[in-house]
Amino acid sequence: MSAVLLAMAAAVIATTIAALWRAVNGPARSDRLMSVQLLGTGAIAALLLVAGATGAGSALDLALVLAMLSSFATIAVALAPAPGRGGAA
């Protein structure tokens, strides 16, 4: 079963990398942001699957840190002032 779970982790990583096409090509700012958000979520899911496959508790610690911190970049950019307006968000 652990081979199945590892294959699922690989599948999640592959789809996440495919979704990074949006981070490169946009076109909108929000498209790039949601692609980065999906990168963090995909990493959490892949780490959960690795933890289930190998029983490694360290993968759970990594996933926990990512779950706490990965959305901060998106939040920071979303709360930044819009380009060219100069005012508060």
Partner 1 sequence: MLLDFWTVAVAALGVLFFVAGTAGVLRFPDPLSRLHAVTKADTLGVGLIALAIVPQAATPLDAAKILLIWLATMLSAATVGPLLARVAIRNGDER
> CA distances (Å), 50 to each of 6, 7, 54, 79, in order?
6, 9, 6, 34
Per rule CB under 8 A, is residue 21 in the interface with partner 1? yes
Per rule CB under 8 A, is residue 39 in the interface with partner 1? no
Q: Which two tokens stand for residue 70?
A: 């990965």
CB of 86 to partner 1, least distance (A): 14
Q: Which two tokens stand for residue 64?
A: 């926990």
Number of residues counted as binding partner 1 (CB under 8 A): 46
Measuring CA to CA, which residue among 38, 33, 47, 40 is closest to residue 19? 38
Q: Which residues bind partner 1 (CB under 8 A)?
A: 1, 4-5, 8, 11-12, 15-16, 18-19, 21-22, 27-31, 33-35, 37-38, 41-42, 44-45, 48-49, 51-52, 55, 57, 60-61, 63-64, 67-68, 70-71, 74-75, 77-79, 82
